[in-house]
């Protein structure tokens, strides 16, 4: 085999308009633990939020799961390229005990900040995901992509796809529902 053929064998084939590219989690990490009543967490650059853990009341501990992304073809082979998360912004504050925040269309949650107890304010930061400067679309949250947990239970709500909505009503003894979205190129 000549050097030319060896080089050709190691170069990924060019993608045409009919190629299927899937966006999947490459690696996951967990944040440090924060006191819920006075914290702000922002995912590191070019990562997305995939989960949240909380135990106890407003003095309890909160952690987040975040992930990097990769693109794969329909055979599971990695497609070379770069993911970026951009065009981000913070939401207006919502009273935690009656909050229902959903990221704007084709955006995902990348940060959360909370001050106070269930009557305090919660803010979210969102962003758009790009692969090689191409926008990734986020499919809306069907019921099978949601998780409901008792807020104080000390349970993770996480999936291997981005968090796009969070709804909570009541104090720490009430339920919180998390919604996740599929990423599509």
Asked whether residue 9 is assigned to any structural domain, the reply reads: no
- Write out pLDDT tens, residues 135-165: 999 987 666 789 999 999 999 999 999 999 9
Closest CA to 96 of 62, 48, 129: 62
Q: Is the pLDDT of residue 11 over 70?
A: no
Report the pLDDT value the prediction gives residue 5, as an integer from 0 to 100. Answer: 33
Asked whether residue 154 is assigned to any structural domain, the reply reads: yes
Find the DSSP H helices in the chain: 3-10
Report the pLDDT value the prediction gives residue 140, as an integer from 0 to 100. Answer: 76
Which residue range(s) make up the domain with 96? Answer: 19-184
Asked whether residue 32 is assigned to any structural domain, the reply reads: yes
Could you please report the per-residue DSSP string of 27-62? EEEEPPPEETTEEEEEPPTT-EEEEEEEESSTTSEE
The total domain count for the chain is: 1
Find the DSSP H helices in 66-164: none
Whether the full predicted model's pTM is greater than 0.95, yes or no, is no
Asked whether residue 78 is assigned to any structural domain, the reply reads: yes
Q: Is the pLDDT of residue 178 over 50?
A: yes
Of 3-7, 22-26, 36-40, the least confident:
3-7
Report the pLDDT value the prediction gives residue 145, as an integer from 0 to 100. Answer: 86
- Whole-number mean pLDDT of the chain? 89
Contact predicate 129/49, CB 8 Å? no
Contacts of 12 (CB under 8 A, 6+ apart): 77, 79, 80
**Burial of 75: CB neighbours in 10 Å, binned 0-12, 13-18, 19+:** exposed
């Amino acid at each position: 085999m000549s050097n030319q053929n060896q080089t050709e064998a190691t170069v990924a084939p060019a993608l045409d308009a009919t190629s299927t590219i899937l966006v999947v989690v490459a690696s996951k990490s967990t944040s440090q633990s924060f006191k819920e009543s006075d914290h702000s967490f922002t995912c590191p650059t070019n990562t997305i939020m995939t989960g949240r853990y909380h135990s106890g009341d407003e003095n309890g501990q909160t952690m987040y799961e975040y992930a990097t992304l990769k693109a794969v073809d329909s055979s599971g082979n990695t497609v070379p390229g770069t993911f970026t998360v951009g065009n981000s912004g913070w939401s207006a504050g919502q009273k935690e005990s009656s909050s229902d925040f959903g990221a704007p269309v084709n955006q995902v949650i990348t940060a959360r900040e909370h001050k106070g107890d269930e009557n305090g304010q919660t803010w979210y930061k969102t962003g758009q995901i790009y692969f090689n400067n191409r926008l990734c679309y986020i499919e809306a949250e069907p019921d099978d992509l949601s998780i409901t947990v008792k807020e104080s239970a000390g349970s993770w709500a996480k999936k291997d796809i981005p968090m796009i909505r969070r709804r909570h009503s009541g104090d720490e003894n009430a339920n919180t529902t998390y919604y996740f979205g599929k990423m599509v190129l």
